[in-house]
Structure 1
Amino acid sequence: MKKYEIAIIKGDGIGPEIVDEAKKVLDAISYSHGFELSYHDYLMGGIAVDRAGVPLPDETIEGCLRADAVLFGAIGGEKWDSLPRELRPESGLLKLRKSLEIFANLRPTVVYDELIEASTLKESVIKGVDILVVRELIGGIYFGEPKGREGDRAFNTMVYSVPEIERIAHVAFKAAMRRQKRVCSVDKANVLDVSQLWRETVTRIAKEYPEVELSHMYIDNAAMQLIRNPKQFDVILTGNLFGDILSDEASMLSGSIGLLPSASIGGKAALYEPIHGSAPDIAGQGIANPIATIASASMMLRHSLGEVEAADAIDKAIVKTLKEGYRTKDIAAFGAKEICTTDEMGSIIANYAAKKGE
């Protein structure tokens, strides 16, 4: 029997609740598909500040580097917003990404037919949407030097090198080869020197993938086109800042940020997490939607562990659960036959994934 080591970072707010449900589904699917998962818990975020005095203890970094993959919930909250930047929970996540060297963030956006009314856009616009945003994660303006404040001015530097652009471009083109074979590279090449280098490099890499159709789009137009005609996109390739914005915009096509997963890959270990935040205002109430975290666990099985059949089973279980009318509070207004708690939703998906609910 194959055995995998999984580092667990539950984090703050609803993080512990949603990660527990993902673990429940993973346990069910690993049993039915003949492999074993071993979990090790680590601290990051506000809880790490409270217990260890820093948002990311060295023990967490070391544990994640030893693991086959990392499953993460969410961090942050108003409690820690007044701390110096280096002590805020978000600084821990940025440091972890850098430490793991995970340079590629994959954010899929799929519109479920069962929740099509949850979107603010017309059905004719969003039905059938299936987009993958490939965001460069450890470069660009978030990490560029110099940065800081001098008197009444502040500055950040957007920097990308050719090797950084090349490696993220390869991730996007390889993903497109498994999908509809279309890549749209998003930049601001009409204004930024960095984007001109980005466009030149992506165009050169595209020649290695002759089956993939490459297009380019300015960030402002891309933001508009995501709303006007999202079905024109297959894989969107872009830098850190633009990807941060576009992936959140794309997520709302589905109608709820509580539905969508993400994977950060390409480094010494891969990190899987829901795209939503820690939602401390609903923590402990049993109403958080665990689907995004469960779907992130599915991505973990697929991309890091190679357990593709198990990942497919989870994805199908999510769809079946929605078809049967099970809803958490955030999506209860859209076709709900039964409103579920966080725990109940996790159990239903786990049962379907393990084929106990057929």
Structure 2
Amino acid sequence: MLVALLPGDGIGPEVIDQTRRVLDALGPLGLTYEEAFVGGAAYKAKGHPLPSETLELAKRADAILFGAVGDPDCDSLERSLRPEQAILGLRKELALFSNLRPAKMFPQLADASALRPEVAGAIDLMIVRELNGDVYFGEKGMRKTADGLREGYDIMSYNEAEVSRIAHSAFRTAQARRGKLCSVDKANVLETSQLWRDVVIEVSKDYPDVALSHMYVDNAAMQLVRNPGQFDVIVTGNLFGDILSDQASMCVGSIGLLASASLDANGKGLYEPIHGSAPDIAGQGKANPLATILSAAMMLRYSLGLPDAADRIEAAVAKALANGARSGDIGGSMSTREMGDAVLAVL
């Protein structure tokens, strides 16, 4: 099975390196690897954030392990050439529409959460975020108003097929967990959200074993810090999902702990930590590699059919934390490699 390694920018190569060490330590899994440029590194080497050879590799690979993109040197480029367009392009070209972002509190890190330990300790949820629509892919641009003012616009839209597809993914995810699904929208003011809610209700008829509820996004943001234990699976659109999943990361202590999977209709996926490229600490050995290591576990489970290996990684991360492994973002001083070493020691 072929895994495409796309380290990208900033701390991406550092966390991918540690994840590769962990995968190799699992023993023979039948995996082969090919690496390619992506993001700002690709622009500097190839003139485009998503070169044709990188896209071709991603298409023929069985799974993609992705680091991070984002480079301040590229901030002045036109939007189509900025590093972030690489991940948007991969999602679109590979039809990666279903983003799974788990957030679960490690008991050992309750003191790292911004929430009270008794509140944070109850966190065990999955955010299912739609990835191919919403304002990120809608028509956008700059224009002048009738009185000559500059005006930016980004169109938010979903059609019923797009909503139905992600709703089915979320209901199946809830079936495999605790059977509760909360659909998050803003149907009181957005027509896009009203359609979203209507279609989710229609799809729910196929899943009588899942309890469906609805919540406005502003209330959902409040409830994530007030009573996060009430959530099992949350399904929402691209914009709201981006914001809520980052919020969930701080509820469990650090954005450096949260993994993600972006899946197509057949289970092929791109796996990445939800943190960015963190250029301020790149090359300093300060990055926490656990989110990327846990993303690799998701890759083994969801795309490569190796759940036992995934279980071993997740157990090793939990044991390493129980043994006191801590990088700077979770109150310690261990380097990126030392955090990798701590997981390897358990394996």
- What is the TM-score of this pair, normalised by structure 2? 0.96
Q: 1:272·1:299 contact (CA, 8 Å) conserved in 2?
A: yes
**Partner residue in 1 for 2:85:** 91
The number of residue pairs the alignment matches comes to 341
Q: Which amino acid aligns with 1:205?
A: V
Cα-Cα RMSD: 1.1
Q: Report the CA distance between 1:294 and its aligned residue.
A: 0.1
**Partner residue in 2 for 1:22:** 19
Q: Which amino acid aligns with 1:250?
A: A
SS, match of residue 280 in structure 2: helix
**Partner residue in 2 for 1:60:** 54
Q: Which amino acid aligns with 1:22?
A: T
Q: How does 1:166-205 map to 2 (within 5 A)?
A: 166-205=164-203
Q: In structure 1, what is the Cα distance between the partners aligned to 2:90 and 2:285?
A: 29
Q: In structure 2, what is the Cα distance between the partners aligned to 1:290 and 1:9?
A: 15
Q: How does 1:149-298 map to 2 (within 5 A)?
A: 149-151=142-144, 152-267=150-265, 269-298=268-297
1:104 equivalent to 2:104? Answer no
Q: In structure 1, what is the Cα distance between the partners aligned to 2:341 and 2:112?
A: 23
Q: Report the CA distance between 1:283 and its aligned residue.
A: 1.3
Which of 131, 136, 148 matches 2:141?
A: 148
1:323 equivalent to 2:317? Answer no
Q: Which amino acid aligns with 1:144?
A: G
**Partner residue in 2 for 1:42:** 36
Which of 128, 131, 139 matches 1:137?
A: 131
Q: In structure 2, what is the Cα distance between the partners aligned to 1:223 and 1:240?
A: 15
Greater displacement, 344-353 / 306-315: 344-353
SS, match of residue 30 in structure 2: strand
Q: 1:184·1:214 contact (CA, 8 Å) conserved in 2?
A: yes
**Partner residue in 1 for 2:73:** 79
Structure-2 change in CA distance of 1:10 and 1:18 (3 Å): same
Q: Report the CA distance between 1:190 and its aligned residue.
A: 0.9
Q: Report the CA distance between 1:212 and its aligned residue.
A: 0.5
Q: Report the CA distance between 1:267 and its aligned residue.
A: 4.8
Q: In structure 2, what is the Cα distance between the partners aligned to 1:280 and 1:106?
A: 25
Q: 2:74·2:82 contact (CA, 8 Å) conserved in 1?
A: yes
SS, match of residue 132 in structure 2: coil
1:12 equivalent to 2:9? Answer yes
Q: 2:122·2:228 contact (CA, 8 Å) conserved in 1?
A: no
1:313 equivalent to 2:306? Answer no
Q: 2:38·2:69 contact (CA, 8 Å) conserved in 1?
A: yes
Q: 1:184·1:217 contact (CA, 8 Å) conserved in 2?
A: yes
Q: 2:2·2:32 contact (CA, 8 Å) conserved in 1?
A: yes
Q: Report the CA distance between 1:287 and its aligned residue.
A: 1.7
Q: Which amino acid aligns with 2:143?
A: E
Note the alpha carbon deviations across 1:240-287, whole angstroms, 9 max, x for none. Answer: 111111111111101111011000002574100000011111111112
Gaps of 5+ in 1: 334-338, 354-358
Q: In structure 2, what is the Cα distance between the partners aligned to 1:300 and 1:92?
A: 20
Q: Report the CA distance between 1:211 and its aligned residue.
A: 0.8
Q: Percent identity?
A: 55
Q: How does 1:334-349 map to 2 (within 5 A)?
A: 339-349=333-343
Gaps of 5+ in 2: 145-149
Q: In structure 1, what is the Cα distance between the partners aligned to 2:265 and 2:344?
A: 30
Q: In structure 1, what is the Cα distance between the partners aligned to 2:190 and 2:329?
A: 40
**Partner residue in 2 for 1:356:** none
Q: In structure 2, what is the Cα distance between the partners aligned to 1:128 and 1:121?
A: 11
Q: In structure 1, what is the Cα distance between the partners aligned to 2:151 and 2:105?
A: 43
Q: In structure 1, what is the Cα distance between the partners aligned to 2:272 and 2:297?
A: 11
Q: 1:75·1:277 contact (CA, 8 Å) conserved in 2?
A: yes
Q: In structure 2, what is the Cα distance between the partners aligned to 1:55 and 1:267?
A: 25
Q: Report the CA distance between 1:77 and its aligned residue.
A: 2.3
Greater displacement, 74-83 / 15-24: 74-83
Q: In structure 2, what is the Cα distance between the partners aligned to 1:161 and 1:50?
A: 37
Q: In structure 2, what is the Cα distance between the partners aligned to 1:161 and 1:310?
A: 38
Q: In structure 2, what is the Cα distance between the partners aligned to 1:309 and 1:196?
A: 41
SS, match of residue 261 in structure 2: strand
**Partner residue in 1 for 2:63:** 69
Q: In structure 2, what is the Cα distance between the partners aligned to 1:348 and 1:222?
A: 36
Q: 2:271·2:298 contact (CA, 8 Å) conserved in 1?
A: yes
